[in-house]
Structure 1
């Protein structure tokens, strides 16, 4: 069955009537006649039955129909099309099956990109885009990161509450697909709370901590402690556990786990994965003050069997948190550099010293080059003219 062409060179009213006829032919409860109330009423009736087109066996035909609706919708003044856009978006999020979901996602994304940048409706359509993209496994095609998200809404920023809702949705759909990105989204969410309402963010703060602890690629957890909602958790077990991962050794975690096994498992955390991460974090701490670490120290501190030491060191080096060289003959690890687990006053002072030395070296080099240039100029001036 052939549907109406997309972006036809006829009036909006005539396009709407063609759509009415098409949906009527599919069995939808809609009149073929134009509404005497105008294009908005026509479109309201069309949106109400637009999901009937999912009966169409040809996916390209479905996309053409949905795009025809989009073309009319974006031609209507904003104040007259708000409810229509919201209703259309909601219907498309319910498209059955992955194939029709993908077709609907493409049309919904087209609608989003055709709205004016200063339209507050862009937020609502984007929210439904993420919902639908999650269903068809295409979230990363529309969301690449929090920086991109800020740019999307730079002209017309949503309210704080709207952004919190969107961040929660993104975290929910990303946590099983990309734990690192999910953690960044959750940190952004916690950053939207102020001193006045941080106490209401308890659930979000706990999710943020658990996501970060469970992420096998997240090791630098110190920044979480400065987030206002996380600070409100001080004194609770989840905050104590975070502190262990931020600055304490493997033995501290093992003691915590021994006393609070049920709590750790109730948060959905894997004990063996926790042990693996704490070993790496403890090794980083050892490397901060020891340029040379013996295998015996690693075996003792990290409770690793001797046969597993080399494999563990290779695992550490893969994280790129520590730069080192293993000497199997001497049974040592020679550390070149390491990331700091925490970055407090001592680390800032050390960085300041390094930068001051660098500045002094640059100034020395600049003065030396200046002297060379002056000498060359004087030499050139002393030469006889040709």
Structure 2
């Protein structure tokens, strides 16, 4: 796409070649007060672009958002005409300029420009990774991560033609985890962290110590994360066995409320040093304990709930209502009988026993479906026989 500039307004599209575009950009940026000459560089178009990118932020101070976006898109249109092996440093310099755009509105503009640049670069080019990394940084600044990240699978598809080196991918996943957490997308953040920990092998799991701790803390602190058992299977998390952080995770995975209280009483300073809130931990452990009780008890009295969850009599009903709102447990509360009748619950852990239960359930369904199928065949055969005999 070719761009022409008229002084001092923003550039407009025309049929100028890339060298002529560069001259027009020089004139336009100089008219905005940028320290750049109007003459083209004797070193060629790449040096022209280097100088243009160096002062392109002059447009941030002048013109409308649409004009600024037009200017920046014009630079993108020139960058993509340069062979990628010669444009990498230029693209990186341009990205660095864009992430420094001040304010929310300009941030939205630069987000769109970076997305255009990302989409314009050949899929097999390693520079796409660096553009995307800057894209996520801008998305964090304007709280628009949803615009650039949908899920881990799509992320991997975007880089399928040229997968980044492992260290680069880890760096990107760490950034995405931070951005998703700050945007209150805890579920996606957890998936990203699990993906990050999955990039470590048994040989280098010890290097993932900080990532593993960050993963555990994010999962424990998130009020909507209750299935914690999969974390124990991750190699970097297993490397922490024997440490307090792993012991605390194990409590949340499989123990009941008294076990957490005992841990807290012995390690108060440690829990607070992690930045965890004790009251929130208590609330979460009560929910997890209730889920565990519901797995083996289809009927529970208020007195049992009060005793097991260390609640006062007046706290029982509000707690049950809170549990039902989470939809972790499907149940019916009978206030007159002071009982809870459980129909189903999410399992805290999903191990061999749960797989066997699921196998038995599916086998039962298969048997019932076969019986229904055979019955329908018998009914159909009987109807056909009656019709034939009537003829």
Q: Does the alignment pair 1:370 with 2:377? A: yes
1:25 is matched with: 31
CA contact (8 A) 1:190 1:229 kept: yes
Q: Does the alignment pair 1:41 with 2:47? A: yes
Secondary structure at the counterpart of residue 226 of structure 2: coil
Q: Whole-Å Cα distance in 1 between the matches of residues 316 and 112 of structure 2?
A: 51
Give the unaligned 5+ runs of structure 1.
none
Secondary structure at the counterpart of residue 173 of structure 1: helix
TM (norm. structure 1) is 0.95
1:191 is matched with: 198
Structure 1 residues 378, 183: closer, same or farther in 2, change over 3 A?
Answer: same
Q: Whole-Å Cα distance in 1 between the matches of residues 22 and 38 of structure 2?
A: 9
Displacement, 1:366?
Answer: 2.1
What are the within-5 Å matches in structure 2 for residues 106-185 of structure 1?
A: 106-178=112-184, 179-185=186-192
Equivalent in 284, 294, 301 of residue 301 of structure 2: 294
Q: Whole-Å Cα distance in 1 between the matches of residues 146 and 269 of structure 2?
A: 35
Q: Whole-Å Cα distance in 2 between the matches of residues 171 and 345 of structure 1?
A: 31
Secondary structure at the counterpart of residue 131 of structure 2: helix
Q: Whole-Å Cα distance in 2 between the matches of residues 72 and 43 of structure 1?
A: 8
Structure 1 residues 89, 275: closer, same or farther in 2, change over 3 A?
Answer: same
Q: Does the alignment pair 1:255 with 2:266? A: no
Displacement, 1:379?
Answer: 4.7
Displacement, 1:377?
Answer: 4.3
Q: Deviations over 1:119-170 (max 9, x none)?
A: 2211110100111111122122212222231222223222211110001111
Equivalent in 352, 369, 386 of residue 345 of structure 1: 352
Q: Whole-Å Cα distance in 1 between the matches of residues 125 and 291 of structure 2?
A: 49
1:327 is matched with: 334
Displacement, 1:256?
Answer: 0.2
CA contact (8 A) 1:299 1:305 kept: yes
Q: Does the alignment pair 1:64 with 2:73? A: no
2:97 is matched with: 91
Displacement, 1:383?
Answer: 5.7
Secondary structure at the counterpart of residue 182 of structure 2: coil
Q: Deviations over 1:316-364 (max 9, x none)?
A: 0111110000000000000011111111111111111111111111222
2:343 is matched with: 336
Secondary structure at the counterpart of residue 334 of structure 1: strand
Equivalent in 212, 227, 236 of residue 205 of structure 1: 212
TM (norm. structure 2) is 0.94
Q: Does the alignment pair 1:306 with 2:309? A: no
Q: Does the alignment pair 1:214 with 2:221? A: yes
CA contact (8 A) 1:214 1:274 kept: yes
Displacement, 1:309?
Answer: 0.8
Query: How many residues in Structure 1 have an aligned counterpart in Structure 2?
Result: 384
Q: Whole-Å Cα distance in 1 between the matches of residues 204 and 55 of structure 2?
A: 43
Give the unaligned 5+ runs of structure 2.
1-6
Equivalent in 274, 279, 289 of residue 272 of structure 1: 279
Segment drifting more, 361-370 vs 239-248? 361-370
Segment drifting more, 168-177 vs 193-202? 168-177
Q: Deviations over 1:48-85 (max 9, x none)?
A: 11112112142222111111101111122211211111
Q: Deviations over 1:100-122 (max 9, x none)?
A: 22222221111112222222211
Q: Deviations over 1:1-37 (max 9, x none)?
A: 7334344221111111100111112222222122233
2:3 is matched with: none
Q: Whole-Å Cα distance in 2 between the matches of residues 288 and 137 of structure 1?
A: 40
Q: Whole-Å Cα distance in 2 between the matches of residues 57 and 249 of structure 1?
A: 62
Q: Whole-Å Cα distance in 2 between the matches of residues 182 and 225 of structure 1?
A: 17
Q: Whole-Å Cα distance in 2 between the matches of residues 286 and 226 of structure 1?
A: 24
What are the within-5 Å matches in structure 2 for residues 350-365 of structure 1?
A: 350-365=357-372
CA contact (8 A) 2:10 2:68 kept: no
Secondary structure at the counterpart of residue 200 of structure 1: helix
